[in-house]
């Protein structure tokens, strides 16, 4: 970005104040070199009172730039802060309005050293200082020096004499003369770095010096005329970092979030009457987030975000996870969970008929209009909405349940950055009043479902969504990682069979003086880890978005070629690494039908020599029950599975989840309960074998089906 020439700040009368704020003592490393993710703030034009509020909330200052006075007569600053905990914890103090002798007095009384010094001429023509200092004791102790009213040559000579390197440099005008201030530390031992410093350099010169020195910016000071004073170092281990200038206020948060960084320096300047900012940043993301973010930004020019978190566990990737974005059809996951919650509460049933207007606008083939009514059962509407991304069915759900009620569900789930604002598929409405959601909110939705928000309808919720591993190329990823681990093909196939997935994507192509692309994808995945020779599924949420891009192909590739595979790769590899030939486990497939829902349960562990009992619950009382045992969950006599059984006499929503190679007939008791035990041979030759089971309950010409189970035999 091009540098700009600022104008001088207006001078107003103000009272000189000094503040001292002390946090608990500790050992702090150099914040300009730390990349451990932490909470951080970049605050523009804030008062001392506001800074103190953030200090009370657990933050400490790392950089301060005097801006001037606001219209109320309060001095204001541009500052950066970090959470004063963990690697960043330190005893520290900050002051402003000090004389040079006062700075010395506070340094001595606090047994401290300066980490940032900002000289300025106050409205009365006095030289004053704002500064940040940290405890200079214990392992945090350093030999250090500070200077002001100095020349470049003097500072250079002192750095040489002290065998030191600069850690802070600023220029300022006092009584019409330009001076420099600096803080330096001994450049030996753990603090030794190859380093350089420059004054009055243009932006292009700074970039050239960085390249020739193979260095990164360590400290940045904007000065009049669009020039910079700077310090650069060569890292012993390279770190991700960025710098910008010519920024507007909205750019600050956007860049921090989009790059997953924290600000080391934030400094404002005026060009005419317009305020701009220069900002130096360093990485504030873990390795996975950094890698995926780099891949996405290299692929698309849009705003990007990614997410991976274990359900009820740790977060592994979070880029822009707390930023609200336009999710397009991914928003339909909220419609879906609201409808299923109403089913769970008994307000409606899956077979409840709802009105669907099937026609679309003549000028926008994706925007549904309220003509062409038909009546469909809720479960059919939900499946078409989630699997086919049908906008007419989505609008039917919105109209039936109410937009306000759907938004209330979002609030109840803790989705604080989510708002359903317009009819999905309608471009003009999307531009005028975009829907909003956060990756963090989508995680909260799926985590609530995993934790029982939908009760026994949890599996139905997933079953009505896209579930095929091929849809996101998860099957190919499993194959690749399994082969890299030299796992047998049968083991890899078993792993795939025990992996479960449910997801929803969406995209908008909008025209508003140019093409605007919004894309998103978010889902839930259950991976079969092995612990003590038993399958122990671990559930995760994952997703990515691109907003405000100009090219749809690039946006799509950023999500589906760069983000999703890399987000899941290491976790899938870890799960595959846990597999052995001695595992044993069962996994539910799909959901039963009927009211109450026909459910299959399993008793005992499928190990060689064991008898495993498969039980049907809530079938027809005192009627024929059949246990179907098969070996395929994808096809049965040429018919793709799961297959809807309604055309063959099944109750609404009943599905076949596996083929039937062997059937066992029995009679259910008066409560609709039936069971059958499968005796597993006591032979290692059957270890690793898989089979599938599903119950059928008959009542004259009608029948209902249970959920399915996949069984793998272990030692």
Q: Mind listing the pLDDT tens digit for each residue in 625-634? A: 999 999 999 8
pLDDT of residue 584: 86
Average confidence (pLDDT) over 76-104: 97
467: pLDDT strictly greater than 60:
yes
Q: Does residue 24 surpass a pLDDT of 60?
A: no
Q: Where are the domains of the chain?
A: 40-284, 307-577, 585-712
> From start to end of 459-605, where are the E strands?
500-511, 515-531, 534-549, 585-589, 599-603
Phi-psi region of 443 (alpha: psi -120 to 50; beta: other; left: phi over 0): alpha
Residue 635 has pLDDT above 50, yes or no: yes
Of 3.40.50.720, 2.30.42.10, 3.10.180.10, 3.40.710.10, the CATH number of 307-577 is: 3.40.710.10
3-state secondary structure of 65: strand
E-only strand ranges, 22-74: 40-47, 59-69
Rounded distance, CA 671 to CA 75, Å? Answer: 77
Cα–Cα distance list, 531 to 20, 180, 277, 500 (Å): 54, 63, 53, 18
Task: Give the model's confidence band at 25: pLDDT under 50 very low, under 70 low, under 90 confident, else very high.
Answer: very low
Q: DSSP string spanning 700-711?
A: TTEEEEEEEEEE
- Concatenating the DSSP letter of every residue in 189-201 gives GGG--EEEEEEEE
Handedness of CA 253, 430, 393, 506 (dihedral sign): negative
Mean pLDDT of the chain: 93
Q: Are strands 662-667 and 261-271 parallel, antiparallel or unpaired?
A: unpaired
Question: What integer pLDDT is reported at residue 12 of this predicted model?
Answer: 27
Structure-model confidence comparison of residues 147 and 585, the more confident one: 147
Whole-angstrom distance, CA of residue 65 vs CA of residue 79: 6
Token reading at 18: 């000094």
What's residue 15's pLDDT?
A: 31
- pLDDT average, residue stretch 599-609: 92
d(CA 208, CA 211): 5
**Distance between CA 97 and CA 55 in Å, rounded?**
19
| Residue-level pLDDT at 354 | 97
Q: What percent of the chain has pLDDT over 70?
A: 96
**What is residue 20's predicted lDDT score, i.e. its pLDDT?**
39
Does the domain formed by 585-712 have CATH 2.60.40.1930? Answer: yes
* Per-residue confidence (pLDDT) for residue 660, from 0 to 100: 97
For 487-531, where are the alpha helices, taking DSSP H only?
A: 489-498
pLDDT in tens, 176-209: 999 999 999 999 999 999 999 999 999 999 999 9
Helix (H) / strand (E) element for 150: namely strand 144-150
Given this model, what pLDDT does residue 238 score?
85
Cβ contacts of 141 within 8 Å, gap of 6 or more: none
């Amino acid at each position: 970005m091009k540098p700009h020439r600022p104008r001088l700040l207006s001078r107003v009368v103000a009272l000189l104040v000094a503040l001292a704020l002390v946090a608990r003592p500790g050992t702090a490393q150099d914040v300009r070199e730390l990349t451990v993710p932490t909470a951080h703030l970049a605050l523009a034009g804030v008062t001392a009172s506001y800074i103190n509020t953030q200090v009370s909330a657990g933050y400490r200052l790392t950089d301060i730039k005097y801006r001037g006075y606001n219209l109320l007569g309060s001095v204001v600053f541009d500052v950066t802060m970090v959470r004063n905990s963990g690697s960043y914890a330190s005893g520290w103090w900050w002051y402003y309005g000090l004389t040079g002798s006062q700075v010395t007095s506070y340094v001595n009384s606090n047994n401290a050293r300066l980490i940032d010094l900002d000289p300025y001429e106050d409205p009365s023509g006095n030289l004053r200082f704002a500064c940040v200092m940290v405890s200079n004791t214990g392992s945090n102790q350093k030999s250090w020096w500070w200077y002001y009213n100095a020349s470049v040559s003097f500072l250079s000579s002192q750095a040489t004499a002290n065998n030191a390197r600069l850690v802070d440099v600023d220029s300022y005008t006092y009584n019409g003369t330009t001076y420099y201030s600096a803080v330096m530390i001994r450049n030996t031992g753990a603090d030794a770095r190859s380093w350089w410093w420059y004054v009055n350099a243009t932006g292009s010169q700074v970039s050239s010096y960085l390249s020739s020195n193979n260095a990164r910016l360590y400290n940045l000071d904007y000065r009049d005329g669009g020039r910079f004073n700077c310090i650069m170092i060569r890292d012993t281990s390279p770190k991700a970092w960025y710098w910008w200038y010519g920024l507007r206020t909205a750019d600050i948060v956007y860049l921090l979030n989009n790059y997953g960084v924290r600000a080391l320096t934030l400094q404002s300047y005026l060009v005419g009457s317009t305020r701009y900012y220069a900002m130096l940043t360093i990485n504030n993301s873990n390795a996975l987030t950094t890698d995926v973010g780099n891949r996405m930004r290299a692929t698309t020019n849009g705003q990007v975000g990614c997410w991976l978190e274990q359900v009820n566990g740790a977060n592994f990737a979070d880029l822009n996870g707390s930023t609200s974005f336009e999710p397009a059809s991914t928003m339909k996951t909220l419609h879906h969970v609201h409808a299923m919650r109403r089913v769970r509460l008994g307000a409606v049933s899956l077979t409840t008929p709802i009105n669907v207007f099937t026609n679309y606008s003549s000028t926008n083939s994706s925007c549904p209009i309220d003509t062409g009514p038909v009546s469909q059962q809720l479960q059919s509407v939900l499946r078409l909405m989630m699997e086919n991304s049908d906008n007419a069915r989505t609008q039917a759900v919105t109209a039936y349940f109410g937009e306000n009620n759907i938004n209330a569900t979002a609030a109840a789930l803790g989705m604080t950055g989510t708002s359903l604002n317009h009819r999905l598929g309608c471009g003009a409405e999307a531009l005028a009043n975009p829907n909003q959601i956060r990756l963090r909110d989508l995680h909260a939705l799926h985590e609530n479902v995993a934790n029982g928000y939908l009760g026994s309808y949890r599996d139905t919720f997933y079953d009505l969504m896209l579930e095929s591993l091929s849809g996101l190329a998860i099957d190919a990823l499993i194959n690749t990682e399994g082969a890299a681990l030299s796992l047998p093909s049968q083991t890899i196939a078993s792993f795939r069979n025990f992996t479960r997935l449910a997801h929803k994507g969406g995209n908008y192509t909008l025209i508003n003086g140019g093409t605007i692309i919004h894309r998103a994808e978010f889902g839930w995945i259950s991976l079969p880890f092995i612990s003590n020779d038993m399958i122990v599924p671990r559930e995760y949420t994952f997703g990515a978005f691109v907003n405000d891009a100009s090219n749809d192909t690039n946006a799509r590739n950023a999500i589906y070629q760069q983000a999703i595979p890399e987000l899941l790769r290491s976790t899938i590899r870890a799960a595959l690494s846990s597999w052995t030939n001695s595992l044993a486990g069962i996994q539910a497939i799909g959901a039963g039908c009927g009211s109450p829902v026909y459910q299959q349960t399993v008793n005992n562990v499928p190990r060689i020599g064991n008898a495993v009992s498969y039980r049907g619950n809530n079938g027809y009382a005192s009627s024929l029950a059949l246990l179907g045992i098969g070996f395929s969950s994808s096809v049965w006599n040429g018919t793709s599975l799961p297959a809807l059984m309604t055309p063959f006499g099944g109750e609404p929503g009943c599905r076949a989840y596996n083929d039937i190679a062997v059937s066992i007939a029995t009679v259910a008791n008066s409560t609709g309960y039936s069971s059958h035990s499968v005796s597993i041979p006591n032979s290692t030759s059957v270890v690793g074998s898989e089979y599938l089971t599903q119950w059928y309950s008959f009542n004259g010409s009608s029948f209902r089906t249970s959920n399915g189970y996949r069984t793998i035999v272990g030692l």
